[in-house]
Chains A and B, each alone.
Chain A
Amino acid sequence: MRLEGRAWKFGDNVDTDAIIPARYLNTSDPRELAEHCMEDADPEFPSKVAPGDIIVGGQNFGCGSSREHAPIAIKHAGVSCVIAKTFARIFYRNAFNIGLPILECPEACDDIKTGDRVAVEADTGRIYNLTTGKEYRAQPIPPFMQEIVAKGGLIAYVREKLQENK
């Protein structure tokens, strides 16, 4: 699966209140959440982000609350992939569970600048900066997570498991 778009760069410790402030959590409608995605970190983000765009973070991306509304807001804002140096663990699980591709790659995060065109092969973990011509390799996705993704997310995985138990 090849994903391609413009890079939006953010710093370390982007927290879930920055991704989707709690004042909008009185709904779980993905489109409404997407309208406010990242707005406290960059007020222009929700209106300017284009389908396919890629968020590039630093350390501990998605720290803070367990709200699954955070990866949902990112996904429905049109973002195709998040690359970070490391992810906070609940965000990491949530992203896989809802089908938002995420990759860990410190070198790419240091190099890529806002506005660069970036392409990602989610299955192999290869990242290409089309603006500079550089290429990176992300940490491989753990096999168990790959299995969840291959089955179509955690809920599909659960359905299958329940069938087996019958």
Chain B
Amino acid sequence: MAGMTITEKILAAHAGKDRVEPGELISASVDAVLGNDITAPLAIKEFQKTGVEHVFDPDRVILVPDHFIPNKDIKSAEQAKLVRDFARGQRLTNYFEVGRMGIEHCLLPEQGLVGPGDVVIGADSHTCTYGALGAFATGVGSTDLAAAMALGETWFKVPESIRFVYEGELPEWVGGKDLILHTIGDIGVEGALYQAMEFTGPVIENLSMDGRFTMCNMAIEAGAKNGIVPPDRTTEAYVQNRAKRPYKFYHSDGDAKYARTVNYDVSELEPVVSFPHSPDNTRFVTEADTVEIDQVVIGSCTNGRIEDLREAAKVLEGRRVHDRVRCIVIPGTQEIYLQAMEEGLIATFVKAGAAVSTPTCGPCLGGHMGILAKGERAVATTNRNFVGRMGHPESEVYLAGPAVAAASAVLGRIAHPKEVK
């Protein structure tokens, strides 16, 4: 019998089985379930229809209002209130209010609410971020969330896995965002449909946790069910003082079966930009013609972590944001915000003429805090550049890592960080 992948092992353990096969339908227990201010209101309505009075575990149902928060208008305030009232009524221990709140996928790992070996579902497609910890995590809709809030379990079809192997030396200014954009550009936005993306190889072993979060975060942009990184010493160092529950490391067997293996030599890579209107429409930044921009957004669940802010600050230090550009920096959580302040990064941003916001999804989904007008262009460290994602249907979003975003803010056009003198 062939071995199993890390994804299969985690799913088998949560289904009470010795092994599972790709394609098999299983019912699995969940270690944590997540909803936000957009998806939770629908889930709460559905939950109430189940006739169940209490959620399966008030410590494991996590609600994070982060999308239109702080409330951007009356309607979103009503939605947020519905979530808040439910959290109070159910005595949820992990409801995060403005001032303590952060972008959900930055917040949950930071607070140790998800950990290695977990099965996590969230009514948010970027729940796949937690795969960076060596967990199985995937996005679902509100009704699936409601069912899991009642039962503490959900059903899955066990996905096949694709193994990605990254080798070589990462060049300067190339990081996790460039690796994942390059991969999506290569396999396409449906390249991993229904499958698991397992990120491996020496480059991943040397990648920081923040870089791994960025990569797993965007697995969904290739259609994947989950992204996952084998846990190691870097994972251990990250979780040991955070984890609120016991965790477990799983590893793929040497003879595990993969749908395919994809190899990349990263030594010749350059910073990557995804052009409108699809994350797989990638080019090296040096191949981009002159693209003048109006706005830069540095933040989101993809690149709103401390390392991302450090990288942006490295470029912006002692420089000025271009006259034409609005540069908006959004730390992912309060802890990240505070650390950035203590490290002097916030001062760097403000002195450069950038706006710094409280943690929120904000402009990432065209919610608030930086909506684009017709014809405007933005470089963003976010994850989607679909038509109308950040505002007017005729605006444009270019996806990039924090260094390219910061360099573009300075030069007023899409730029390589080394161009900033």
Across-interface contacts of A90 in B (CB, < 8 A): 125, 139-141
Q: Are the C-beta atoms of A158 and B50 separated by less than 8 Å? A: yes
Knowing A23-B366, A28-B79 are in contact, say whether A17-B189 is a contact too (CB < 8 A): no
**Which of A1-9, A64-72, A133-141 forms contacts with chain B?**
A64-72
In chain A between 15 and 33, which residues have their CB closer than 8 angstroms to a CB of chain B? 15, 17-18, 21-23, 25-28
Q: Are the C-beta atoms of B125 and A64 separated by less than 8 Å? A: yes
Across-interface contacts of B386 in A (CB, < 8 A): 15, 17-18, 64
Q: Are the C-beta atoms of A155 and B123 separated by less than 8 Å? A: no
Question: What band does the interface of chain A fall in when counting residues whose beta carbon is under 8 Å from B?
Answer: 35 or more
Q: Are the C-beta atoms of A93 and B49 separated by less than 8 Å? A: no
Instruction: State whether the Cβ of B288 lies closer than 8 Å to any Cβ in chain A.
Output: no
Instruction: State whether the Cβ of B143 lies closer than 8 Å to any Cβ in chain A.
Output: yes
Annotate B123-145 by CB proximity to A: 1 below 8 A, 0 otherwise: 11101000000000001111110
Across-interface contacts of A88 in B (CB, < 8 A): 190, 193, 223
- Chain B proximity of A15: nearest CB distance (Å): 5
Q: Are the C-beta atoms of B140 and A154 separated by less than 8 Å? A: no
Given contacts A41-B387, A65-B124, A94-B140, could you give 12 more A-B pairs where the C-beta distance is less than 8 Å? Answer: A23-B367, A25-B38, A26-B72, A28-B41, A63-B189, A63-B190, A66-B39, A68-B141, A90-B125, A144-B155, A154-B144, A158-B50
Q: Could you say which of A17, A68, A144, A158 contacts B39, with CB atoms under 8 Å apart?
A: A68
- Chain B proximity of A140: nearest CB distance (Å): 14
Knowing A28-B41, A89-B225 are in contact, say whether A68-B143 is a contact too (CB < 8 A): yes
In chain B between 362 and 397, which residues have their CB closer than 8 angstroms to a CB of chain A? 365-367, 384, 386-389, 391, 393
Across-interface contacts of A153 in B (CB, < 8 A): 143
Knowing A60-B193, A93-B140, A159-B51 are in contact, say whether A26-B79 is a contact too (CB < 8 A): yes
Q: Could you say which of B25, B189, B278, B367 contacts A22, with CB atoms under 8 Å apart?
A: B367
Q: Are the C-beta atoms of B141 and A66 separated by less than 8 Å? A: yes
Q: Which residue of A lies closest to B77 (CB)?
A: A26
Number of A-B contacts (CB under 8 A): 140
Q: Could you say which of B67, B123, B193, B389 contacts A89, with CB atoms under 8 Å apart?
A: B193
Q: Are the C-beta atoms of A22 and B141 separated by less than 8 Å? A: no
Knowing A17-B384, A162-B52 are in contact, say whether A26-B150 is a contact too (CB < 8 A): no
Q: Are the C-beta atoms of B193 and A162 separated by less than 8 Å? A: no
Bound Cα distance from A158 to B387, whole angstroms? 37
Q: Are the C-beta atoms of A98 and B125 separated by less than 8 Å? A: no
Q: Could you say which of A23, A63, A66, A158 contacts B147, with CB atoms under 8 Å apart?
A: A158
Bound Cα distance from A101 to B39, whole angstroms? 22
Across-interface contacts of A59 in B (CB, < 8 A): 190
Instruction: Show 27 A/B contacts (Cβ-Cβ < 8 Å), sorted by A.
Output: A12-B190, A13-B278, A18-B387, A21-B366, A21-B393, A22-B38, A22-B67, A23-B388, A25-B38, A27-B75, A59-B190, A64-B384, A65-B384, A66-B39, A68-B39, A68-B141, A72-B42, A86-B193, A88-B190, A89-B223, A90-B125, A93-B141, A93-B144, A94-B143, A98-B143, A142-B25, A155-B146
Q: Are the C-beta atoms of B366 and A22 separated by less than 8 Å? A: yes
- 3 tightest A-B contacts by CB? A94-B141, A97-B143, A68-B141
